[in-house]
Structure 1
Amino acid sequence: MMFEGVLTKMQTEYTEPVNYYLVFENNYINFNQLIDKKIAIKFIKFECLSCHLDKPIYRQGFCKSCFFETPKAADWILKPELSQAHLDIEDRDLTYEKEVQLQPHIVYLANSSSIKVGVTRKSQVPTRWIDQGAHEAIEIVEVPNRYLAGITEVALKDHISDKTNWRKMLQNDIIDEDLPKYRETLKQYIPEEVLPYFIENNTETHITFPVAAYPLKPKSLNLGKTPEYEGVLKGIKGQYLIFEDQTVFNIRANEGLVVNIHVAP
């Protein structure tokens, strides 16, 4: 089987285990069905996710000029505390910013390599946790806009990490934690204006991933340095493909690259 298209974040289905789909313009790949099969990946060219031109990808799937112009790459994406749509203040495109920022957001705890705090739109639960490779997660607050979620995350970052150790996550070097207990401990640090949105009683969400074997020493595939790669797929976790020779390939980090993927019969 042969597939070709521009890489974008894998679509997921919250099942037991998670189902992963790489969607191209005219077809798609269900990677769960390809575990233990040999896969060849070849870099073809770039295709910016905004202008669709063959220009080197700068960040987040965009060429350099688009990265500094598209509202989909504005600073408030990674720093939600910078959101200003609730004040009717435009950054790059107020219509888009209102559409994204002025909807329910969740501040959560997720355990992938260790416990971390994060922010996501309510509509992205549990997708966001799946993308981070979290095996368990829980909501802390549900607020009406991105700004309130952002200032909550900033307040909690002084007391708990907001980062994921990708190597530890892929090695499955994890410990089950009592997330409701952590949530209660962190309540005291939530900004006063957000406290009415604190979620008092809810349970952890548990996620399992389709992995036959975890890597002991994961090494990241860089298509810029190694434009052709072949290996046996052993699993998928987060947005990573995991191969038998310890190679891992982060689909999300390679958005905007056009690749050819060949699956051996």
Structure 2
Amino acid sequence: MTKMIFGRFLPGDSFVHKMDPRAKLLFVFIFIIAVFIANSTWSYAALLVITLLIMLMSKIKLRYLINGLKPVLILMVFTLLLHVFFTKGGALVVDFGWVNIYEEGIRQGIFISVRFLVLVFITSILTLTTSPIAITDGLEILLSPFKKVKLPVHELALMMSIALRFIPTLMDETDKIMKAQMARGSDLTTGPVKDRVKAVVPLLIPLFVSAFKRAEDLATAMEVRGYRGGEGRTRYRLLKWTMRDTLALLALLVMIAILVLLRN
């Protein structure tokens, strides 16, 4: 539980850390579009190479990402197996009577799993290399044109930032409650499924109480400090777009052009 990396920020001095948050958000948005452009073996291989390069540039270890994303990786394996056993088409690869595995099922399973993997890795690198405050500022500036249609841009960016920040906090709180319950003799890891589900109830109740209390304390602290929304607020940290950000986006556009060429 303590290894979960969703919403966590790791300070650093890598190329990705130094990028402007607006550039990183645009990069991730364009990269997500590029993921859905890929439809061949070579294009998905290119996506994996791009993801590996970004990870190396961020100086985040692959082992750290894998350990923190184990629940997501389990879901990815489950998705792979679903496609392998239930997608029909192409040549019959394995025939075990009632279990038939087709070439198209293996192909689709691998492609969907790779797509899911690179999306999770890229978004995780974004949150690991960008502080919640920087993400909020970047989102608000990028969405500022929508203020003309009365969209509460500041409030939306603030809610997303708080949600990201609360994920590791709730994970830590869950770990503390689990250890407290286990110290009192509660068994959360062994026994029949029915008993495990019953044991989770004493865990959920204090977790929800703690979450609501933290939310109330945060709202009170913001009101005491005079927070009244984004109207008229100034910024302590000013974002600065550099040549590094421009080059990163240009490199991504070149990569997308290569992906288009590698399509079937």
Q: Give the TM interval when normalised to the shorter protein.
A: under 0.3
More helix by share: 2
Name whichever structure is richer in strand by fraction.
Answer: 1
Tell which structure's C-alpha radius of gyration is larger. 2
TM-score with structure 1 setting the length: 0.24
TM-score (norm 2): 0.24
